[in-house]
């Protein structure tokens, strides 16, 4: 579930706008390449009640995955880094999520949301929080070699 956070939480001030631009990019990419139409909900009310999109797709930008050779899969969030309690998000959000799209402008992966949960439950993957000081996002790391094996599809952008 997309939540607006103070810019100090994300590590840079434009991360929310970058994420929105990446969502738009993915909507066009999946429509053009796979004829898979994703209709994003824009109001918080619909996002909380129904999820990020009508088709049950959550989209996350991971700018660094081509450098780190691993994908960051979101599992929990806090509105403020000073909050104590984590709430389920990403693959664990309590909405209609069937699919999880993650990547950057060069490479985008489509996964079954349930399968990513199964992978996480094996406890084989490192977890981390971000940013290090006053974290707001909890994630696990899926190596790219495994991501390529387990994804439904991977789309490469020839820019």
SS3 state of residue 48: helix
Q: What is the band of 108 on the pLDDT scale with cuts at 50, 70, 90?
A: very high
Highest average pLDDT, of 41-55, 80-94, 143-157, comes from: 143-157
DSSP character at residue 123? T
Q: Which residues of 69-101 are buried (b: 16+ CB within 10 A; e: fewer)?
A: ebbbbbbbbbeebeeeebeebbbbbebbbebbb
pLDDT per position as a tens digit, 59-107: 999 999 999 999 999 999 998 989 999 999 999 987 788 999 999 999 9
> Does 39 have pLDDT greater than 90?
yes
SS3 state of residue 23: helix
What does the block give as tokens for 4? 């607006």
């Amino acid at each position: 579930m997309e939540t607006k956070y103070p810019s100090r939480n994300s590590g840079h001030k434009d991360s929310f706008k970058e994420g929105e631009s990446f969502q738009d990019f993915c909507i066009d990419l999946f429509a053009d390449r796979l004829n898979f139409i994703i209709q994003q909900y824009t109001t918080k009310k619909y996002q909380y009640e129904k999820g990020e999109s009508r088709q049950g797709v959550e989209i996350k930008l991971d700018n660094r995955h081509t450098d780190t050779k691993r994908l960051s899969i979101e599992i929990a969030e806090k509105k403020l880094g000073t909050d104590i309690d984590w709430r389920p998000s990403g693959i664990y959000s309590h909405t209609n999520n069937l699919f999880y799209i993650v990547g950057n402008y060069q490479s985008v992966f489509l996964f079954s949301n349930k399968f990513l949960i199964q992978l996480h439950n094996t406890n084989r993957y490192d977890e981390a929080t971000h940013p290090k000081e006053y974290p707001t996002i909890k994630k696990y790391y899926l190596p790219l070699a495994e991501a390529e094996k387990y994804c439904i599809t991977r789309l490469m952008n020839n820019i």
